Each structure stands twice: as C-alpha cells, then as structure tokens.
Amino acid sequence: MTVVRLARISAEPLDLAAHLDAVEDAAAGAVTTFIGRVRDHDPDAARAVRELEYTAHPDAEGVLAGLAQAASGDSGALVAVSHRVGRLGVGEAAVIIAVAAAHRGTAFESCRRLIERIKTDLPVWKRQIEIDGTATWLGLGG
C-alpha cells in the first residue's frame, strides 16, 4: 500500500478538501490536519509582514515525498502534503498536511514529525516582505 497519497509543490492555492480526500480510508479511525498560514508578523521582522514569496529547488517535490514517507515510517499512516511557491498574502495557506491512521496518536505523531522535517529539510526558501517593502530571505529552517 502506498502511504504517500499526495506530495506536491504548487503555485496554485492549496485545497484542504483534496488532502482529506487523498487520505480517505475505511481503516483510518483518526485524521489530523495541519495548515501553515502566512501571518502578519514575525519575531525577526522590524515591521508587520505583508507577504511571503516561496521559491523551491527543482527536486523539492521528490524531497517532500521522501519526508512524507519517513514521517509515516512503519506505522502505515497515510499522508497528503503540499507546499506553495510564489507570492502569498497574509492568511493564505503555505503548507497543508493531512494524515490518516488507525489511531489518533499515530496520526498526530506523523503529522508533527512531517511539519518539523519540512521546516528543516525541504529545499524551499522564503522571502519575507514587510509592510514598508523591506525584504529578507530565509533558508532552510527559517
């Protein structure tokens, strides 16, 4: 059984329903989701954040699939994950993860493991643009 049902880098807005549909399974008693959204502030920014611009390495989608597979591990948890690229305004979804598993603990653990690995290992960079136009590039782990 393929545990990674969806792993995509997308320039299009992300759709939570599509991720939930991808992990639909009669054996799954638990489904967890994570939505990472663009916020209007950042501890390292001097002013309010206006938008983020994400750029991905050409291999990012394959890396994302590998991270999703690793997050599921031997648990059999089903994973759907997408990360946006391009310019995103405040409130837009940058990352969506859906994980379905037989039990809630497995679903929560796999979802948490995946978002933490995305933050440190996915070759995606973001340019944070503040309200006055000041921009800062943040790399892996940013």
Closest C-alpha among 26, 27, 20, 17 to residue 5: 20
Q: What is the pTM assigned to this prediction?
A: 0.95
**6-33 confidence digits (pLDDT tens):** 999 999 999 999 999 999 999 999 999 9
Fold exhibited by the domain 4-138: Aldehyde Oxidoreductase; domain 3 (3.90.1170)
Contacts of 12 (CB under 8 A, 6+ apart): none
pLDDT of residue 138: 82
Q: Which of 129, 121, 119, 124 is nearest to 38 (CA)?
A: 129
Q: Which residue type, as a one-letter code, is found at position 84?
A: R
Six-digit token string for 64: 């994302």
78-84/4-10 β-pairing:
parallel
Torsion sign over Cα 123, 75, 13, 49? negative
For range 62-80, the mean pLDDT: 97
Look-up: residue for tokens 């648990």?
A: 75
User: Contact, 94 vs 88, CB < 8 A?
Assistant: yes
Q: Is the pLDDT of residue 142 over 80?
A: no
CA distances from 2 to 20, 85, 92 (A): 16, 26, 29
pLDDT tens sequence across 28-37: 999 999 999 9
Q: Are 96 and 104 in contact (CB under 8 A)?
A: no
